[in-house]
Structures are given as structure tokens and as C-alpha cells.
Amino acid sequence: GFRGLYAKRNQPMDPNAPELGRRTNGLVLQGGRLVGTRMNFAQRFVHTFGSVNVFDHVNECELSHHIAHQHVFSGINMTQPDIREAKFIIYWGTQPGDANFPMQTQGKFVAEARAKPDGLKYVVVDPKLSRGGVIGDRASWLPIKPSTDGALALAMIRWIIDNNRHNATYLSYPTQAAAEVAGELSHTDATHLVIVDPKHAQARRFLTADIAGLGKPKVQGDDDRVVIDAVTGKPAQAATVKAAQIDFAGEVNGIAVKTAFRLIKEAAGEHTLEQYAAICGIESTRIVEVAREFTSHGRRAVSTMYRGVVKHPNGYYNGVAVLLLNLLVGNMNWTGGLTAGGGGYAVTKGLYDLQSVPEAEGLAKGVIINREQFHYEDTSEYKAKVAAGQNPYPPKRPWFPLSFAMYTETLPSAVQRYPYGVDILMWHKATPIYSVPSQGNPEFIEAIKNPKNIPLLIASDIVVGDTSMYADYILPDVSFLESHCHIDTYPTTLTKGTGVRWPVISLTPKTADGRHFCMEEFLIDVAKRIGMPGYGEKGIPDASGKFWPFNQREDYYVKATANLAFAKGVGHDEVPEASAQEIAISDLADVRNE
């Protein structure tokens, strides 16, 4: 159980493979619907216990959407149009009024935008047409063949570049500093030179000042990349150039290079519009119409996508192509363009530190059970096989150095005990047997039930479901009406904000001391019982260093709300004292007393 595993927190998982971390990585918490501060709560427990294995459902849901975004927009997981100010939007694999985040807000904003005299027009790219997707004379539907979105996007990219409809001026700024001087809000790597000589040691990587023979770099990072100065026509470090050539192919210091823009141009040019049309099922004349419309509204045109585009083996590439259209018109952060939204406020820091447990710092480390964010070639297993003259490929299961939250890999990894075994697997509103293809087959279910593979299975849920029915223990959890949570606004909302949820009904049974049965109370009790730091009377530190008790979920969530209330925002946004009427209407009397 928890006590026995926690006692091994200073033992290595495998003395011959230090990268695997400690034995406590044998605890895995697989969240199906674990978001906001409920996720923060779970992470705090698991990391304090000494495990790196706590994650949600992302990869069965939309991981290729997130990774495509991260690679186009430098770490951002999601973007949305500034709907109410946009003039033209292409919705790929999602339809306003039927889907997307948040669905109601999307539908409301689209209705408002297209009701204006010179309002929004939009196109839905989707194999199917839903009830709310295309309504009125300002909306149209492109019935694309499934999984061919990339072909349509590349066809548009080709036509836009061939007809000089791209925003070349915007694309010419090589750094953020240069872009801001010119009045821009963002920049791209369109002008950055890429080494295209396949024999070069740095092939397919960006050319740096040192490799280009430009001497010791004056700066590091992206600004150290080399561009062709638009004024001199000579190579220079990006940080020293105001504007650079976007369409270049040649040699620098004897090395064959091309700009990132040229590479996109050549990739899009590998097929004709007619060939793209045959692939995606959309007539070439219609492709041209949409591309022309997209480039007729300046920065108030947006190419946006959701799950329909990326839920295919080639989904990541579809997503990248769809998002690149935004770079061609330079719409990021502009009114009516593409936005990452207002975001939210920090709720785990501030008056109270809800993250740090100094006594457990550094305990959770090592390779995640799903083998994400780590290269197989860096493992002791790989190196040992190479040293022994063995073929190291294939590994027992795949490794995912560029991905995260590989939910679909958790159960297979646990059953095969690779790269290490799982001692305790806890599901929180997780249904992998139902939601992950092939994991519901009888043979695999028998393997899950075998205690030799997974000794202890615990489910925290509001129902006895397709997956939780196989757990050794089922812990009652709370519904959204009975739970606490803090979650940031989605990018659809431009205003910075964090939503606060608190219990409005009391249905679930309670413990002897009056606490609701739920995941949080179970984790608190386990932590206190086995002597984990960060719980009990010396649980949560405040900004002055004083410790406050952590004996019930409200000890955490009410402090998170306090952090939010006192978070520094834009001037004069202080949260006023709640009136007696507000407390009564919101049923906050009990929470306030706590």
C-alpha cells in the first residue's frame, strides 16, 4: 500500500538505470477529468509522495492539436480567433454553435459578429455538417475528405505565396525587438536560415553565427540565428538586423541554406492546386475563392482548428499547416486576429504557497511511466544494448520525446511493467477501458486485473463505470456541483480571468468528522497517516513563513481563492469585501467560517 511504497522513497527504481528515478514512481495517478486546482491538488500530493506520475487525459483528446500549437507558437497550447472583431474565419474540424471551447461562448460571439452590418463571414471545413455549423448567407461549408486538411491548407499556402498575397513586411522582421520597433506585436522565423546540406553535422537545424563564420555571437538563443540582411544582402546575426530577406536559397560560409519561408514555399509547391483538390475533395476554384477571401481582410482573418483536424495519424502535420496560414497574414495578437486569450491569475502562489513542500523538494524525479519527454537513446537500457553489441531497436514500447500526457500509454506500460512496474494505480474519473481503442478487449482486461501486473488499483469516481468496476477499491468522488475548482478562461475570452467553483449542494456521504467523501479528503488522510510533509497542522506556508493547517480540502481551496482575490492585476481592480447579500445569494456562509 501507500505506507510500504513511501518507505522506499530513497531507493532507486533500478540501480542500473538512475534515469528512472526512485521507487516511489510506482505510484501513478491517471486523471480522466482532472483540471485547474483539482489537478494542482493531485500534483502536490503525488510529487510530495515522490512520484512524477500524475497526468490527465490530453493525448486521447487533442495532443496533436497542442503539439502543433507549441511548435508554431512557441509553447502555447491553444489559440482562438478574436471572433467579435474578425471579418473572416476558417473553422477546421469544428463548428460554431456545436463544439469548441467554450461552446456557448463561441456560438454567442459568432452570432454577434455576423449580425453586424459588415460583420463576420466564415467557412466550416469538415466532412460532416452539424445543425449549428453553417447558418445564414455569411457561412459556407467545405465538405473535405477526412484527414486531408493538410492538403487543403497547403493548397491555400501555395496560392497565397504564388500570388504575393502574404504579409511579406511582417514576415521580414527576424526578432521580436525588430518587430516591435516597426509597430508589430509578434515575429516569426520566416527569415531564419536553415542548413539544408544533408551531410552537414547540423543538417535541418537553424544556422547560427558561429557556424556561419560571423565570429563570437553577441546574443544567444533564437536571436543568434543567421539571416540575410534585406539592406546589405549579406548574412548577419538576427539580433543585428532590422529586416531580412524571406525568400532566400544559397550558401553561407560554404554551407547550403534556405530560409524557413523558402522551405514552406517549396513544400507547398510540390503539388499543383488540381492535385491538392483531388486529395482533399474540394474543387481548385473553391480553394482559390477561400484563399482570396482569407487574404482580403488584412489581419482580421483567422485560420482556427480543433479536434477534427488532428484526430488522425497525420493530425500533427494537418494542424501545423492550418496554423501556418495565420503567419502568412500576420494576425497574431491583432484586433480581429488570432489570440492566446487573456489567461488567468496565479492561484497557487501569493498570500499562501500551495505548491511548495520544501521537505519533499527533489524527491519526485525520473522518467515518467509513459516514457514521454525523454529519448530512448538516453536510457541505460539503450546504452547497455549498444555496449553489448546488440540491436537496441525496437524497445519494448515506444518512447515519446516530443509529447506529454500520454494517457493511452499508462495501462499498457503498467501491464508490461516497462520501463518499470506500477505498485499503485489510481484512476480519477478515468475510463481508459472505454475511451482508449483496444484497451477494452477481454485479454487486456484480464491483464489489468492480474495483481502481478498492477498490485493495487484504486478508482475515485462518481459512478461505477467501465473502468472503475475493475478497481480493488472505489472511492466516492464529488460532482461539479459539490466540488471546488479554479480554472482560467479559454482563449476565446480576451479578458484575463479565473473562474471559481465551490460546492452548491451536499449529496455525497461524509466522514465521521464531517468531511465529504472525495479524492482530496482521501489523499489528505493518506498523507497524514503515512507521515508525508506538507499535510496536517504544519501544512501550508503563507507569505510571512507562518504555517497553516491542511486537514481538509477547504484548507487548500479557500486559500487558493484568497490568492486570486489578492492577485495583482491591472490598476484599481481590487476585489471588494463581500456583502452580506452576496454571501447569502452565493451560499458562502459555511465557506467563510472555514
Question: Can you give the pLDDT at residue 144?
Answer: 98
Greater model confidence, 584 or 29: 29
Indicate if the pLDDT at residue 300 is higher than 80. Answer: yes
Average of pLDDT values for 504-520? 90
Strand-pair category, 193-195 with 255-259:
antiparallel
Of 307, 368, 387, residue with least CA distance to 128: 307
Of 560, 487, 488, residue with least CA distance to 343: 488
Indicate if the pLDDT at residue 464 is higher than 60. Answer: yes
CB atoms near residue 529 (< 10 Å) = 12
Within 13 Å of residue 319, how many CA atoms lie on the same side as its CB? 27
The SS3 call for residue 473 is strand
Query: Residue 119 is placed in which grid cell?
Result: 460583420
Question: Can you give the pLDDT at residue 593?
Answer: 61
- Measured at the CA of 537, the angle between CA 532 and CA 540, to 5 degrees, comes to 75
pLDDT in tens, 541-578: 999 999 999 999 999 999 999 999 998 776 667 788 88
The SS3 call for residue 65 is helix
- Measured at the CA of 372, the angle between CA 370 and CA 376, to 5 degrees, comes to 100
* Cis, bond preceding 395 (omega within 30 deg of 0): no
Helices 63-73 and 315-329: crossing angle, nearest 10°? 40
Average of pLDDT values for 444-467? 96
Averaged confidence pLDDT in the chain: 95
Of 424, 415, 322, 294, residue with least CA distance to 79: 322
Compute CA distances 94 → 85, 135, 289, 578, whole Å: 19, 14, 20, 40
pLDDT in tens, 7-43: 999 999 999 999 999 999 999 999 998 999 999 999 9
Indicate if the pLDDT at residue 79 is higher than 90. Answer: yes
Question: Can you give the pLDDT at residue 355?
Answer: 96
End-to-end, the C-alpha distance of the chain in Å comes to: 32
- Give the span between the Cα atoms of 425 and 472, in whole angstroms: 10
Q: Are 188 and 249 in contact (CB under 8 A)?
A: no
Q: How confident is the model at residue 588 (pLDDT cuts 50, 70, 90)?
A: confident
- Give the span between the Cα atoms of 1 and 6, in whole angstroms: 9
The secondary structure of 339-376 as a DSSP string is E--------SSSSB-SS--GGGTT-S-S--TT-BSS-G
Q: Are 427 and 468 in contact (CB under 8 A)?
A: yes
Indicate if the pLDDT at residue 186 is higher than 80. Answer: yes
Indicate if the pLDDT at residue 141 is higher than 80. Answer: yes
* Cis, bond preceding 419 (omega within 30 deg of 0): yes
Indicate if the pLDDT at residue 414 is higher than 90. Answer: yes
Average of pLDDT values for 362-385? 98
The SS3 call for residue 309 is helix
Helices 284-294 and 273-280: crossing angle, nearest 10°? 100
Average of pLDDT values for 149-166? 99
- Give the span between the Cα atoms of 325 and 320, in whole angstroms: 9
Of 37-41, 127-131, 273-277, least confident by mean pLDDT is 127-131
Question: Can you give the pLDDT at residue 584?
Answer: 87
Indicate if the pLDDT at residue 368 is higher than 60. Answer: yes
> What share of the chain in percent tops pLDDT 90?
86
- Give the span between the Cα atoms of 349 and 335, in whole angstroms: 32
Average of pLDDT values for 264-287? 99
Q: How confident is the model at residue 592 (pLDDT cuts 50, 70, 90)?
A: low
Amino acid identity at 461: D
Of 43-52, 305-314, 520-529, least confident by mean pLDDT is 305-314
Indicate if the pLDDT at residue 594 is higher than 60. Answer: no
- Give the span between the Cα atoms of 502 and 180, in whole angstroms: 42
CB atoms near residue 504 (< 10 Å) = 11
Indicate if the pLDDT at residue 404 is higher than 60. Answer: yes
Question: Can you give the pLDDT at residue 86?
Answer: 98
Question: Can you give the pLDDT at residue 214?
Answer: 93
Please give the domain boundaries of the chain with CATH numbers for all domains: 1-54+360-569+577-594 (3.40.50), 63-165+278-339 (3.40.228.10), 168-267 (no CATH)
The kind and range of the H/E element at 578 are none
CB atoms near residue 438 (< 10 Å) = 9
- Give the span between the Cα atoms of 586 and 100, in whole angstroms: 29
Query: Residue 289 is placed in which grid cell?
Result: 475563392
Burial status of residue 117 (CB atoms within 10 A of its CB: 0-12, 13-18, 19 or more): exposed
Per the listing, cell 491548407 goes with 153
Average of pLDDT values for 376-384? 98
Within 13 Å of residue 564, how many CA atoms lie on the same side as its CB? 20
Query: Residue 154 is placed in which grid cell?
Result: 497547403
Average of pLDDT values for 469-494? 95
Of 81, 8, 554, residue with least CA distance to 337: 81
Question: Can you give the pLDDT at residue 570?
Answer: 66
Q: What's the pTM?
A: 0.93
Q: What is residue 204's DSSP assignment?
A: T
Q: How confident is the model at residue 591 (pLDDT cuts 50, 70, 90)?
A: low
Per the listing, cell 483539482 goes with 38
- Give the span between the Cα atoms of 149 and 572, in whole angstroms: 46
- Give the span between the Cα atoms of 173 and 241, in whole angstroms: 8
Query: Residue 24 is placed in which grid cell?
Result: 516511489
Of 215-224, 248-257, 286-295, least confident by mean pLDDT is 215-224
- Give the span between the Cα atoms of 452 and 556, in whole angstroms: 36
SS (H, E, C) 155-180: HHHHHHHHCCCCCHHHHCCCCHHHHH
Q: How confident is the model at residue 100 (pLDDT cuts 50, 70, 90)?
A: confident
